[in-house]
Amino acid sequence: LEVAPDFFEYFQAAFPLLLADPSLWCVSAWNDNGKEQMVDVGRADLLYRTDFFPGLGWLLLAELWDELEPKWPPAFWDDWMRQPEQRRDRSCVRPEVSRTMTFGRKGVSHGQFFDQYLKFIKLNDRFVPFTQLDLSYLKKDEYERSFLPRVYAAPEVRVEELQGNRRREL
């Protein structure tokens, strides 16, 4: 993995969230939808909660490792982590712009998607002082109080409007 200039800063700032919010089970440095044309590089400080395990550079508590390690699979662990039996309704924090990038085809997933997808993920290239930011908006109750109304108020968009990677500002 290649890491962004603020990779450790990001994890240092998000670590207290893991300690304080039992509805979180990881902090990921990866955005699965992080192709350059799909992220707002001007908002590299923006973080989200996700129910989809992002993988490729992540932080978890020792207690979670104690839970997962005895049943850890030999391959395709990222898909295994997404199964309900592991996730158990817990969420991860993930960035708008990835803090990691893979640069090789080798790995436990046997390079399945590298050429078609992974090599196009945008790696953040500027330092964001996350430890100086208030990340309390990522705690479950506060996040749901602010994020869910915005989602339900968003306009409906037909799939035809999204074809060709055209971004529509809301």
Residue type, 169: E
Question: How far is the C-alpha of 109 from the C-alpha of 86, rounded, in Å?
Answer: 19
Question: Which residue, 13, 15, 37, 16, is CA-closest to 127?
Answer: 13
Both tokens of 150, joined, read 């915005």
Whether 78 is catalytic is yes
Query: What is the distance between the alpha carbons of residues 139 and 135, in angstroms, rounded to a whole number?
Result: 8
Looking at the chain, which runs of residues are DSSP E strands?
2-3, 24-28, 47-50, 58-59, 91-95, 100-101
Which residue in the list 6, 45, 78, 141 is annotated as catalytic?
Answer: 78
Q: Which tokens go with 32?
A: 């699965």
Catalytic residue numbers, as ranges: 78
